[in-house]
Amino acid sequence: MSPKEKPGRVYLVGAGPGALGLATLRSRELIERAEVLVYDYLCNAEMLQWAQAGAERIYAGKSGTCHTLTQEEINRLLIEKAEAGKLVVRLKGGDPYVFGRGGEEALALAEAGVPFEVVPGVTSAIAAPAYAGIPVTHRDRASTVTFVTGHEDPTKSDSAIDWGHLAGLRGTKVFLMGVERLGEITARLMAEGADPETPVALVRWGTTARQESIGGTLATVAAEVARRGFAAPAVTVVGEVVKLREELNWYEKLPLFGQRVVVTRTRRQASALTEKLTRLGADVLEISTIRIVPVALAEGERRKLASFSTHFDWVIFTSPNAVELFFAEFFRENRDVRGLGDVKIAAVGPATAKKLGELHLRVDLQPEVYTSERLAESFSEKVVRGARFCLPHGRLADPLLANHLREREGTVEEWTLYDTQPEENDPTGARRRYRQEGAHWITFTSSSTAENWAALGLSPRPGAPVPRAISMGPVTSATLGKLGYELGGESAVATLDSLVETLVKMTIESKYADK
Ligand code: SAH
């Protein structure tokens, strides 16, 4: 088919205000299908990861005055890609038609005869105030809401904004852009008769974990914003509804709000911890230190898989990765789960047991304390003597468990299922943010992640906060000590929930100490 016969299409898609959960189902569907993605500075970079590996990603920029492509160039790019038969997703922060020039892009497409569709998004004009405890309308306080561009110079005589009329409106006004013009905007509103006592709030990076807000009145807020160096991207809310902020500020009151936490794990594992922390309001920087690279089993080992139960009495899993990779191999050799026969299963802890549970396999033995040492000890003498153990694990596994079983006359075969390699990519920009902004906490779930982290040699720029380490257990803490890290805390038991609990406790204590 020639390009002319397969018409392309452009989707003008709202990316929402920043929080990933506020993206629409339709936006995800289209990003997954996109051949070309043209995105802005304000789009959540995580959304780009929904795209197919082969999709072309083009950054169209626009952070304040730093434009990467001009509007003309963006319009032309969209038309060109569509005319080449591509499915183009033009991803824009918030809603595509609320400022940000989405209307102009749509007109350019219409004029060029390019088919297009618009996918509305959750606009920051409403969402950022909502996440700071401000409903933009309220039956008793504001019956109208006006969205205003802060881009216009309010001292200009030929302004497109009727400032007199705007100042006279009693409802809520939400200004987008123009934080740097705030002094002129508030002065103009007061000059046109607005009450200097009118409450005002600014919310920057609203709905994301980097959110910050600031309050005042028309008379005071500009000086406060300048003093605190409060910068874009932010919305400014003017009106009586701002007074509800104290009472309705659910988001900023979450226990980990304002805490930047580095999560160091392999890409595949990080999400559970990240989700728990994010739910509590933390700003999580997921930085992968290592990649799991599967290793082919030796020929002899592979052959044993086909008749597994005749070779082993026990199979022991010390990580969810090992479960996943072992059973991928197992089912390649066995069409039937009964190939496992009556082999008993041991798991080091709940995450590993959960992975087994997903395969409908019950764990026969799991220690109360989730370490290899305690796992080894929880096998009774009677069970170990003469028993045949299969221990599938990573290349650098701690020999402690196998040695312990061998000392007590068990036979142990260790199978290498995977290798770990340093991760070098930065797909979400988390490493860049860590260097720029630092962090308050960094979590370590094992000695190897601590060692891998140290090997990366990442550090925040001078002046940015250096994170305190939270470890999942005593072995990891000892490793951190050897590596020269200051230990902020250690979780009581080796589970993610306990790790999160420790972090919350430490946060409360450090806030207390600051006061
Ligand atoms: N179409 C977008 C607005 C684009 S104009 C929307 O509907 O949200 C860019 C301005 O949007 C920024 O200068 C800022 O005022 C505002 N903005 C976008 N995302 C924001 C966020 N997460 N928090 C606060 N303001 C935001």
Q: Say which range, 50-64, 94-108, 467-481, 484-498, has the weakest mean pLDDT.
A: 50-64
The reported pTM is: 0.75
Tokens at residue 461, please?
Answer: 């720029």
CATH of 9-121, picked from 2.70.150.10, 3.40.50.720, 3.40.1010.10, 3.40.630.30, is 3.40.1010.10
Residue 240 pLDDT? 97
Distance 127 CA to ligand 1 centre (A): 10
**Which residue has the CA at smallest separation from atom 11 of ligand 1?**
176
Residue 424 pLDDT? 82
**Which residue has the CA at smallest separation from atom 5 of ligand 1?**
100
Residue 46 pLDDT? 86
Q: How many whole angstroms separate alpha carbon 129 and alpha carbon 135?
A: 7
CATH no. for 260-289+424-514? 3.40.50.10090
370 CB burial (10 A radius; 0-12, 13-18, 19+): buried
| Residue 300, pLDDT above cutoff 70 | yes
Decide if 103 contacts 71 (C-beta within 8 A).
no
Tokens 């590596």 appear where? 483
The string of pLDDT tens digits covering residues 133-154 is: 999 999 999 999 999 999 888 8
Got the DSSP string for 12-74? Answer: EEE-BSS-GGGS-HHHHHHHHH-SEEEEETTS-GGGGGGS-TT-EEEEEEEETTEESS-HHHH
H/E element, 487: strand 487-490
Q: How many whole angstroms separate alpha carbon 177 and alpha carbon 101?
A: 13
Which residues on neighbouring strands pair with residue 263, listed in sequence order? Answer: 286, 443
Q: How many whole angstroms separate alpha carbon 131 and alpha carbon 253?
A: 10
| Residue 453, pLDDT above cutoff 60 | yes
Tokens 């189902």 appear where? 25
Please report, as a single letter, which amino acid is at residue 105.
Answer: E
Count CB-CB contacts under 10 A for residue 2: 6
Q: How far out from the chain centre does Cα 64 lie?
A: 24
- Fold match between domain 9-121 and domain 126-250: no
Residue to substitute in 22, 42, 182, 230 for testing ligand 1 pocket (most ligand atoms within 8 angstroms of CB): 42
| Residue 393, pLDDT above cutoff 70 | yes
Residue 331 pLDDT? 95
The string of pLDDT tens digits covering residues 6-30 is: 679 999 999 999 999 999 999 999 9
Q: How much is the mean pLDDT over the chain?
A: 92
Got the DSSP string for 172-225? Answer: EEEEES-GGGHHHHHHHHHHTT--TT-EEEEEESTTSTT-EEEEEETTTHHHHH
- Please work out whether the CB of residue 42 comes within 6 Å of at least one atom of ligand 1: yes
The string of pLDDT tens digits covering residues 86-111 is: 999 999 999 999 998 999 999 999 99
Which DSSP symbol is given to 445?
S
- Please work out whether the CB of residue 99 comes within 6 Å of at least one atom of ligand 1: yes
The string of pLDDT tens digits covering residues 178-193 is: 899 999 999 999 999 9
The string of pLDDT tens digits covering residues 206-234 is: 999 899 999 999 999 999 999 999 999 99
Mean local confidence (pLDDT), 453-480 = 93
Residue 65 pLDDT? 53
The CATH T-level fold of domain 126-250 is 3.30.950
- Please work out whether the CB of residue 95 comes within 6 Å of at least one atom of ligand 1: yes
Cα-Cα-Cα-Cα dihedral of 334, 348, 380, 338, to 10°? -20
Residue 223 pLDDT? 97
Decide if 176 contacts 232 (C-beta within 8 A).
no
Q: How many whole angstroms separate alpha carbon 196 and alpha carbon 187?
A: 9
- Please work out whether the CB of residue 93 comes within 6 Å of at least one atom of ligand 1: yes
| Residue 118, pLDDT above cutoff 70 | yes
Tokens at residue 169, please?
Answer: 């409106």
pLDDT bucket at 372, cuts 50 / 70 / 90: confident
Q: Say which range, 58-67, 311-320, 346-355, has the weakest mean pLDDT.
A: 58-67
The string of pLDDT tens digits covering residues 65-86 is: 556 889 999 999 999 999 999 9
% pLDDT > 70, the chain: 96
Residue 266 pLDDT? 64
Domains in the chain: boundaries: 9-121, 126-250, 260-289+424-514, 293-422
**Long-range CB pairs of 463-467, under 8 A, 24+ apart, other chains included:** 464/435, 464/436, 464/437, 464/438, 465/260, 465/438, 465/439, 465/440, 466/438, 467/260, 467/261, 467/262, 467/438, 467/439, 467/440, 467/441, 467/442
pLDDT bucket at 1, cuts 50 / 70 / 90: very low
Q: Catalytic residue numbers? A: 40, 62, 177
Which DSSP symbol is given to 419?
E
- From 291, 288, 357, 294, select the one nearest 322 (Cα to Cα): 294
Assess whether the previous peptide bond of 233 is cis (omega < 30° from 0).
Answer: yes
Residue 291 pLDDT? 82
Please report, as a single letter, which amino acid is at residue 202.
Answer: L
- Please work out whether the CB of residue 204 comes within 6 Å of at least one atom of ligand 1: yes
Tokens 């082969």 appear where? 54
CATH of 293-422, picked from 1.10.10.10, 3.40.50.10090, 3.30.420.40, 3.60.20.10, is 3.40.50.10090
Q: Say which range, 205-209, 424-428, 463-467, has the weakest mean pLDDT.
A: 424-428
